[in-house]
Amino acid sequence: MSYFDFFISVNEKLTIFIIILVSVLSMYYFIFRKTVISVLDPLFLVILSSCLGSVVVLFLYITERIENIYFYSYLLTQSALYTGFFLFRRTKPFHLKLTSIIIEKEMTHDNGMRLMFYLMAMVNIVAQLIIYTTVGIPIFLESRLEIYVVGGGFGIINRILQICYPVSLYCTMYYLLTRINGHTTEKLLARFYLVVLVIFGLLSGSRSFVLPMVYGFYFFLFLNRGNCKKSVVLIYAERGVHLVTAIIVLMFLSIGIKSQFDLLGIVGTIAERVVSYGDVYFAAYPNRLIEQIQGVGTANFLFGDLLRTLRLVPPQFVQQPIGFEIYNLANKTVEVLNGPNPRHNVLGYINWGFSGSIVFSFICGILLSLGRNIFYTSTFKSHKAKIVVMLLFASVVNIETDPPLFISSLNNIFLMGLGMLILEFIFEHSKKAQNFLGTQSAMEQT
């Protein structure tokens, strides 16, 4: 079913859709009301998108647009996901207010953070400028996804950006949100760099570009509880409504730029966005379209992305974006660089069939639970360890809506982490060599 056909179907039976929406939202609220610590918690958006996806599937089933097998597959895989998610004992930071666990105190400056800030910020800016000058500015492209599929080594640049952005944002928060004596230059540059990130976000063409910044703020606050400025914490804990309002304004601004500030275009875009949280279901389930897509198996799914990045296998070995294929089949288009996220239900069914998809979803739920618990119980003192925890949690929250992105994010952490260790090793040893040569020179002079 194409996007147009689905929107027509919803418009014709809008009352049914609204009743389903209200009912499912109420059910999800009852189930997850004690699971999410804040609307800024990344799990909030994951659960919301899952809820809206459930609305779409239930609407398709009630209006007899899909066969029973796909409805049962969805119910079983979604139940398996939540069974895995609630299998482990839930961590309980949720009854605490951040104002009660954060005590403002002065931090001892970590010299490694200065190097990381300069390095990550510089690489991020240079990589963005390379894309702008060679591929184009994403907001002015026909599809902003073009920058992810162009060849010539741009895949590596995109991987670099996906790590440098959150790490440089963490370093920026380090200088802006904590009490550190001195380092006026870094604090001033951090403010400037934050403005640069906002500009990059607006030019990205993404309607949700502000979310990574909000999540970065949230991650830093929680991982550094006990060290953040009290004023910052109060803004988060007691003025969350103002923060959410600012987020909405920025999202509207991004949508307005894309639609040239046409009111109907803005409203239509927002409505489309809400409904499209379940686009993979109304595209793949009706007319048995999902059966036309070839699976690739376990080894390819787990290791194909990494092996292709390292040029150890040809591109044909790796599963192409399923969302693109589903979109083109449903809308009868050819090679359009657009499409829905391949949620765990659909991806599992394509690769491992009806029964295998249930097992896959259960494993996804377990990984999501583990990642969440590790983040909320983290007590690491080292900022490097905190950054790793942040990156892992930011990756695992994608496993429900986009499992291939989760795998790709893990590969990015591995490859970029290895690169950072090598650079740090070279830097430290070059520093030691300089100190050694300086000592030798002083001895010769004496």
C-alpha 151/C-alpha 158 separation (Å) is 11
Amino acid 347: pLDDT: 92
Residue pLDDT, tens place only, 215-247: 888 888 888 876 665 545 544 544 455 555 666
Provide the residue type at 95 as one letter.
H
Residue 172 burial by Cβ neighbours in a 10 Å radius (0-12, 13-18, 19+): buried
Q: pLDDT below 70 — which residues of the chain?
A: 89-110, 141-155, 181-182, 205, 207-208, 226-274, 315-319, 421, 424-425, 427-446
Provide the residue type at 234 as one letter.
L
C-alpha 294/C-alpha 292 separation (Å) is 7
Please report the DSSP string for 207-270 in residue order.
Answer: TTTHHHHHHHHHHHHHHTTTTB-HHHHHHHHH-HHHHHHHHHHHHHHHHHHHTTT-HHHHHHHH
Q: What are phi and psi of 183, to 5 degrees?
A: 55, 45
Amino acid 99: pLDDT: 44
Amino acid 254: pLDDT: 59
Residue with tokens 């003025």: 239
Residue pLDDT, tens place only, 123-164: 889 988 888 888 777 777 665 555 555 444 556 777 888 888
C-alpha 411/C-alpha 435 separation (Å) is 36
Q: Check if the beta carbon of residue 398 is closer than 8 Å to that of residue 405.
A: yes
Amino acid 81: pLDDT: 94
C-alpha 216/C-alpha 391 separation (Å) is 10
Amino acid 116: pLDDT: 85
